[in-house]
Amino acid sequence: MPGIISHTKARVRRILLGRATSRGIDLSQLSKVPDSLTWPLRRDGVDPVARLAEVRAHEPVNLLTSFLGLNIWLVTGETETKAVLADLSSYSNDIRPFVGARGSATDGDIGGLGFTDPPDHTRLRKLLTPEFTMRRLERLRPRIADIIERQLDVVEAAGSAASVVDLVDTFAFPVPFLVICELLGLPMEDRERFRDLGSARFDVTYGGMGTLGAVSASRMFLMEATRKQRTDPGDGLIGQIIRENGDEINDFDLAGLADGVFTGGLETTASMLALGTAVLLRDPAGFAEVGRDGGRVDAVVEELLRYLSVVQVAFPRFAREDMTLFGKRVLAGDVVVCSLSGSNRDPRSGEVMDEFDHSRAPRQNLAFGHGFHRCVGAELARMELRMAYPALARRFPGMRLASDAGDLTMRQLSIVFGVDELPVHAI
């Protein structure tokens, strides 16, 4: 069986590499990505643009565009997205054939679980998964609570000094940033360098070069951190994996795992804390309920995750063979992109899915993806959100937005949707 898997993987890579090479495809060199490809990332306020719902209603599997000789399919329905993301045999996640020299095994720009196929993915995820069991995450709970309270003190002090406080700068970003630093076991002196490496990697405004350059910077930083801990493992995730696995994992793979934790745990949770607070503040009953009724917090968090879908699309899938996908003819090498923001609002899945309803019964959603590549850090993110929103509502029950929600400057063309500032009246 290992020989068959290896042969199949090599064949798929040859197919993709052949198509990419013959067309001169190198996404890292793109200075601009056309609107025909990026429009599903646009928002109208916090809502996906209306065009996404129109496409979903008529063709939940839609030929988005042909780009550099590749057909790119957009999947917007919940049922269809689950089917694609759960399919272990029909697709590859290996993006290296499409990023030129940046995809080499020694360059370090591409890697981590999201862009990795079995058997490498299976081996690496097996190393990472034990660090995200609820038992191990519970060890972080007291530290997360302390981080939240300290940042609430920062918000309170800022509110006493000025009438308007930026909740992103004082709360939404620092909380997950400090949690990730604790989780990875990064020493204090490295944290400021680490702080600046987040949001640029998700912004496709300036094409592939800027995004992949940001990936490279964070990966190289974590390679350095990994090398330091080889001889003196710390108390965090990096040190724990080194102690338990030693030379079974090299610095490149370990840095890739750490980079995936950074990718999945910082910007995404920061965006959820900021945008989720904005949504709750325009729904005073929901904000009050979060602070008052601990039993409802889990359901409200799930509704916010579904409604906001800050991770807008799943990792792209590359078709291994010609296939029929819900009536559409998909060719080997075609790219299939699943819209999580579109799928989480599919009206076939429930009533008034385009609205936030803090009283909605808990339901499964695709905010963390689905299937084989579902976010391994989902439960850590949930833990942070379930602790942070109630603490914020209890400390500042009278908090209100300092401007209309429609006046907030949302990020455009970012795979992780967010807001750079959230001005509030805290006191």
Q: Spell out the domain ranges in the chain.
A: 2-425
Residue 189, CA atoms < 13 Å, CB-side half-sphere: 2
Burial of 242 per CB tally in 10 Å (0-12, 13-18, 19+): buried
Strand 423-425 relative to strand 317-319, pairing = unpaired
Position 69 scores a pLDDT of 79
**Are 185 and 236 spatial neighbours (Cβ–Cβ below 8 Å)?**
yes
Domain 2-425: top CATH class: mainly alpha
Q: How much is the mean pLDDT over the chain?
A: 84
pLDDT value of position 210: 42
Q: How far apart (Å, rounded) are the C-alpha atoms in residues 119 and 84?
A: 19
User: Regarding beta strands 423-425 and 323-325, do their DSSP bridges make them parallel or antiparallel, or are they unpaired?
Assistant: unpaired
* Cβ-contact 387, 148 below 8 angstroms: yes
Is the pLDDT confidence value at 283 over 80? yes
Token pair recorded at residue 225 = 């951190």
Tens digit of pLDDT for each residue in 76-102? 999 999 999 999 899 999 877 666 544
**Range in 191-195, 259-263, 310-314 the model is least confident about:** 191-195
Residue 6 confidence class, pLDDT cut points 50, 70, 90: very low
Choose from 15-19, 199-203, 270-274 the range with maximum mean pLDDT.
270-274
Q: What is the pLDDT of residue 266?
A: 87
Beta bridge partners of 325: 328
Distance CA 421, CA 82 (A): 33
Residue 422 has pLDDT above 80, yes or no: yes
pLDDT tens track for 252-267: 888 888 888 887 788 8
Mean pLDDT of 271-278: 96
Q: What are phi and psi of 77, to 5 degrees?
A: -90, 150
Which residues partner with 400 through β-bridges? 425
For residue 111, pLDDT beyond 70: no
Cα 358 from chain centre? 23
Q: Which of 117, 407, 81, 411 is nearest to 267 (CA)?
A: 411
Instruction: Categorize the per-residue pLDDT at 68 as very low, low, confident or very high, splitting at 50, 70 and 90.
Output: confident
Residues 273 and 175 sit within 8 Å (Cβ to Cβ): yes
- Distance separating alpha carbons of residues 36 and 29, to the nearest angstrom: 18
Q: Provide the pLDDT confidence category of residue 336 given band limits of 50, 70 and 90.
A: very high
- 174-188, 206-220, 275-289: least confident range: 206-220
- Pick from 393, 382, 390: which is nearest to 140 by CA? 382
Beta carbons within 10 angstroms of residue 36's beta carbon: 11
Please enumerate in sequence order all residues whose Cβ is within 8 A of that of 288, keeping only pairs 6 or more positions apart, or say none. Answer: 393, 397
pTM for the whole thing? 0.86
Per-residue CA distances from 75 to 42, 113, 218, 309, 331 (Å) = 16, 22, 30, 15, 15
Residue 28: the pLDDT is: 52
Give the pLDDT confidence of 210-253 residue by residue, as tens digits.
Answer: 444 445 677 777 888 888 889 889 888 999 899 988 888 888 88
Pairing of strands 335-338, 70-75: parallel
- Looking at 35-39, 123-127, 165-169, 189-193, which range is the least confident one? 189-193
Q: Which two tokens stand for residue 262?
A: 């950074």
Q: Of 413 and 87, which is predicted with more confidence?
A: 87
- Nearest to residue 331, comparing CAs of 33, 21, 19, 38? 19
pLDDT at 410: 86
Cβ–Cβ under 8 Å, residues 115 and 94? yes
Per-residue confidence band for 1, with pLDDT thresholds at 50, 70 and 90: very low
Q: What percent of the chain has pLDDT over 90?
A: 51
Mean pLDDT over 140-164 rounds to 95
